[in-house]
A and B are shown apart, each in its own frame.
Chain A
């Protein structure tokens, strides 16, 4: 293994070519999915691996777009994800700050409670939440789903913020308070700007989680006009279970926004991955 030289040896070429061959395991299914969305239904059945020929068209996309009322469910996804991520980060960063600064037994207890709750699976909450939601008429509402998203992930993001706030020298807080800043001012003007890296990390982690969510949606949302994209695809698979030429474009439409997000945020996603992996 040469460490200093950047020279390419035969074995490097062999390794590189082998890795590209292995990567086909990932690439072919995506190719297969994409290529079949531009073909006629007969062509999908007869020659699935072939490129679209004369029958190349966007018509199945147009059809899928209107069948799943894409603009509507896309907007729903934006609302669910955007509001939940912002609320979660807002609430958990404040909580983490208070938990680091206050060192009483009560705050220590709350911190431990938060950490240990990470081990409690969401499945533990399903049945009582369903009952609560139907009692309080929260089924099929944005606020219901958003509340669940925000507070079933609060412990984890608080924990991330907590570890980060702890690394900031305590003198910073003392100095600010000495100058007459209130607790709120100290947090928002001095600490929060320093928390940007962890906010990005946690934010990306939550965006992907909430954007893809299915379980919460299937539990609390049944009205088509309230569904997110994943949930809408699920309902449509139920309806057109055999017509793949209709379903494949739906899969593509559901994956595209994330793909765009991924390419813009790639650097941060990979960075946040290690931090985000604390949770199951």
Chain B
């Protein structure tokens, strides 16, 4: 037996040594700043204030009376919801189509997935070239070539359209990713289910509605949750496409945070926005997981 007291203590310490690097790093680089941000959010800490004093909830109240911030909150929610919805609405049919026996399905899957591996900043720049109103703007040119010139728009410069253009680019980049998740999920659907449905005389739509969609519940949970969170956090893509403009038309939570935090150096105020953002993400994750996992339980 190895059970002498000395070796037992030694091995107990060894386990802690394995854990220690992660714990220390996490405490210093993650937990400490997170707690610090929470504290800052109740202060007037800024580059102009040498002495930091607590001001209670004043930052949070001001958030809702600040045009840039209210625009950012509104845009981020719109962006997250619409992006998440469109991503799955397009990815599910695509996944079902690419789950069939067509010969080139692997090449097609790769093509649809590819945009997702690239930086959102670079994809944003590429699309700001494509959406440009100049002579080389791909979208406007194509519309003119196929006789739909009247649809040509100032995609990124028109305050009513700009946010939708940004959402479009996100959907263009992110649909293939969701499609891959759905494809992986579809492989778990037992083929006999389709056979049985066919024998029972179910229509193609009924088969899709009652078998395919039910079995896709787990992938849907993951896709919509990651979609909502990524949507609320969006930054690089906006920087590349519009940088928040025109006006506040495409201002998002993170662009607003960067502006108040590092252009105006109002650290306490920007921290309050970060706290709001965290609370939003927590609430959404909580409810989404509850609703969607309930749905999974009911269906499976």
Contacts and interface: CB of A to CB of B under 8 A. Distances in A.
A224 to B, nearest CB: 17
A100 B166 CA distance: 43
B151 interface: no
Contacts of B222: 277-278
B267 to A, nearest CB: 5
B138 A255 contact: no
B37 A128 contact: yes
Is the interface on chain A under 10, 10 to 19, 20 to 34, or 35 or more residues?
35 or more
Contacts of B143: none
Given A123-B253, A128-B32, A94 B122 contact: no
A111 B38 CA distance: 22
Given A182-B11, A233-B121, A29 B181 contact: no
Interface stretch (A51-59, A68-76, A246-254): A246-254
Contacts of A182: 10-11, 14
Given A125-B34, A183-B14, A119 B184 contact: no
B40 A280 contact: no
A91 B25 contact: yes
Nearest to B192: A3
Contacts of B36: 127-128
Contacts of B236: 214-215
A123 B233 contact: yes
Given A128-B32, A214-B119, A48 B253 contact: no
Nearest to B180: A273
Interface string A175-214: 0011010111001000000000000000000001001111
Given A3-B191, A45-B134, A151 B25 contact: yes
Given A15-B97, A123-B274, A95 B33 contact: no
Given A48-B141, A147-B29, A16 B103 contact: yes
Interface stretch (B15-23, B62-70, B155-163): B15-23
Contacts of B77: none
Contacts of A33: 126, 129
B31 interface: yes
B78 interface: no
Contacts of A131: 267
B100 A12 contact: yes
Contacts of A99: 19
B292 interface: no
Contact of B281 (A98, A121, A151): A121
Contact of B122 (A102, A147, A150, A230): A230
A178 B2 contact: yes
**Among the interface residues B16, B102, B230, B254, which one has the most CB atoms of the partner chain A within 10 A?**
B102
Interface of A: 1, 3, 6, 8, 12, 15-16, 19-20, 22-23, 25-29, 32-33, 36, 44-46, 48-49, 91-92, 94-95, 97-99, 101-102, 107, 110, 113-114, 117, 119-132, 147-148, 150-152, 154-155, 158, 177-178, 180, 182-184, 187, 208, 211-215, 230, 233-234, 237, 244, 247-248, 251, 254-255, 258, 262, 266, 269-270, 273-274, 277-280
24 contacts: A15-B97, A16-B102, A16-B103, A20-B104, A23-B111, A27-B111, A114-B26, A117-B30, A121-B233, A122-B233, A124-B277, A126-B274, A127-B37, A128-B37, A151-B26, A154-B22, A183-B18, A184-B18, A214-B119, A230-B119, A237-B125, A255-B122, A262-B114, A277-B181
Given A127-B36, A270-B113, 19 more contacts: A16-B104, A19-B102, A46-B135, A48-B136, A94-B18, A98-B18, A117-B26, A121-B233, A123-B278, A124-B37, A124-B278, A127-B40, A127-B274, A128-B32, A128-B36, A154-B26, A251-B125, A251-B126, A280-B229
